[in-house]
Structure 1
């Protein structure tokens, strides 16, 4: 029995070098998301911007990321995975540095759009590369990818809080330096990977959405990401914490996200199935947002709720990503691009809408609205069960 366990462990850890190179770069890439979060109130204060204007840092980033997903397959199928990753990484490095030099909220918003272009080229290619090149099957590969995301998201806020306490520009420069390191590691260590035999077109991701299962998951992620980025973009403004405090809160959030994405999601999926587990996580996340909406004036409750939400977000992220990779009869890169195109549009709407609701109504409304959208995501999954039930059969 011990030999069997040892063999399984070795199989999950003995991945090709290229996988660990991409893993490292993915960690650094997603550190960029968390690095910025602790400085949102500071940017609003220093640049004399209202929260809805600051939220556009997420909106421009997600909007361009979503649209650019349509060209990721076109680029990677022509220049190869390695150079697509390298171009994505260097674009993030350049535009994050430019954001750090900016003196107006609108120039930062613009540079975040360029950052989103680099992000799209990197994350879509990284996911398909890890799934395609790893040892142990799709499910284990996605867990590895989600672990990299969770690690990056959890460490990012801590570093962002430390750098942000020195200057709000610090996290932007920090991202740039880290991405240059990732660029050098990929350039030196990543071997050349063969280009796909079939060159994809811009329309391929759009055509892939005709498959009901993939469309359902994309729509689910669209609504879910409105709630996700409501928490990311609005919660910092009601917690009443400085950069250090926000960094520690989102560190706890990210750790919960990382742990559940790796250890909890596979167990829930094996015991209850993907659909039931996903619906449960969406309901729990919606209830968490609702609690934040009811007790918005209590910073302690909001802080605890943000950290607890990481448990549900990490689990759901792994479940939905695994389902996307298995649900549509198209290439993984195309499925990833189609799904990401839809979900990032939701991520673009959520931050701006949340802060506008707060400005026009009150600080409770963004969280209540986010909870409603997450419940809509759950209903989309439930109503499309017949298109998704085969996912568990594939997984096993």
Structure 2
């Protein structure tokens, strides 16, 4: 929810704090670039203090820096506090995925769906709440994030079971050295290019829509609903039917076409609005499919893979909005979206260089599902046979009882 809470107030920030769109886009850049760099140390921290304490530390940082951003009086102050917010974000999101995967009873695939479901619901609800708070003051969404993260902090302290420290401590260089594995490096760069397009849309499209904070919140609420639905239901259905690579081809093609449409018709508010909402479907598919792909084909532990992937992709997400602002101011608003479309297409082409690894991961997942089904069938057969015997004995008893009564 914290990601989307701030999006509806971007134009209001520019107007009320006398800032240019490029300066406002620095809220994304400072936040995501710090998140990316901090991803390199999340495993090192978690392996020394434990996953639960890392989650708590991350949430506490977000509470403090989101509140500080709300109390700030300048765009520079908010940008600076967003950087501290990004540090907390990195500690939380990298560790939370590992904790969910480790504790969920539905297995790895089920844990990813659970994780993306939570993200989807939050992404959908965040902009609507942000729009409502933004009608009161631009400070409202920042305070809202702080309160939400405080609730999450208390819930984590009370409800999450203590996690033991890993037997072996992570080393600082592990996320970087993991990039020597071609499959992980390639998928991570695809994530960077996709995020370049996605955060161009997320960060700059509010300036094209010319809507109030509440109206922007409603638009991104509809967008978030599609993110949630396609992350949970669409991604699983398409992956099972067409495989990871073909499903990602379709999702990446869709987001590229949407960016192209916005780039061609940036002055048409209705077209931009429809395109933004429709992009939720592509974003939901990509979030689940790329996360699953990275975790499936990576030859390194999942916590290291998560940190490596997060580092690379958030670099793209952080730089894209700032570059979009500069290009829009000095060249024109079309160019950032056209560049975003090209970046996504290049990412899709690059993904095909690891086709064999993705296909092998799909085959392994299918075999694991078959083995699980077979194991379940084996355990169910004796139970069915026992029930049949008990039913026959009950019928026999009923027959004897009936005979005695006669």
Runs of 4+ in 1 over 6 A off after TM superposition: none
Aligned to 1:149: 119
The equivalences for 1:285-296 within 5 A come to: 285-296=255-266
Deviation, structure 1 residue 244 = 0.6
1:115 matched to 2:85: yes
Corresponding residue number in structure 1 for 2:221: 251
Q: Which residue of 2 aligns with 1:223?
A: 193
Aligned partners of 1:326 and 1:394 also within 8 Å:
no
Among 306, 319, 329, which residue is 1:349 paired with? 319
Task: Note the C-alpha offset of 1:329.
Answer: 2.0
Give the C-alpha shift of residue 382 in structure 1.
Answer: 1.6
Deviation at 1:389, TM superposition (A): 2.4
Mapped partners of 1:181, 1:94: distance in 2:
13
SS state at 2:209 partner? coil
Bigger mean CA deviation after superposition, 383-392 or 302-311: 383-392
How much does 1:342 deviate?
0.2
> Which residue is 1:199 aligned to?
169
Aligned with residue 149 of structure 2, among 176, 179, 187: 179
Determine whether 1:163 maps to 2:139.
no
The alignment status of 1:233 with 2:176, answered yes or no, reads: no
Preserved contact between residue 212 and residue 387 of structure 1 (Cα < 8 Å): no
TM normalised by structure 2 equals 0.89
Q: Distance in 1 between matches of 2:352 and 2:301?
A: 26
Distance in 2 separating the partners of 1:341 and 1:110: 20
CA contact (8 A) 1:279 1:382 kept: no
Distance 1:382 1:289 in 2: 21
Q: 2:393: which partner in 1?
A: none
Tell me by how many angstroms 1:326 deviates. Answer: 1.2
**Partner Cα separation in structure 2 for residue 331 and residue 382 of structure 1:** 23
What is residue 13 of structure 2 aligned with on the other side? 43
Deviation (angstroms), 1:383:
2.7
1:83 matched to 2:53:
yes
- The correspondence for 2:287, drawn from 311, 317, 324, is 317
Structure 2 partner of 1:284: 254
How far, CA to CA, are the matches of 1:136 and 1:149 in structure 2? 18
Deviations 1:68-109 (A, max 9, x none): 000100111111111000000010010000000111111111
1:316 and 1:156 map into 2 onto residues whose CA distance is 20
Identify unmatched segments of 5+ residues in structure 2.
367-406
Q: 2:43 matched to which residue of 1?
A: 73
Report the Cα distance in structure 2 between the residues aligned to 1:381 and 1:251, rounded to whole angstroms: 30
Scaled by the length of structure 1, the TM-score of the pair is 0.91
Distance in 1 separating the partners of 2:364 and 2:134: 45
Q: What stretches of structure 1 of length at least 5 have no aligned partner?
A: 1-30
In structure 1, C-alpha distance between the alignment counterparts of 2:345 and 2:152, rounded to whole Å: 38
How many residues are paired up? 366
Q: Alpha-carbon deviation of 1:384?
A: 2.8
Deviations 1:15-45 (A, max 9, x none): xxxxxxxxxxxxxxxx111000000000000
CA distance in 2 between counterparts of 1:384 and 1:53 reads 38
Q: Secondary structure at the match of 2:135?
A: helix
Task: Indicate the SS of the match to 2:121.
Answer: helix
Q: Secondary structure at the match of 1:48?
A: coil
Post-superposition offset of 1:368: 0.9
| Equivalent in the alignment of 1:273 | 243
Larger Rg computed on CA atoms: 2
SS at 1:192's partner residue?
coil
Distance in 2 between the 1:362 and 1:346 partners? Answer: 21
2:73 aligns with 103
Aligned counterpart in structure 1 of residue 309 of structure 2, from 326, 335, 339: 339
Q: Structure 1 residue 204: deviation in Å?
A: 0.5
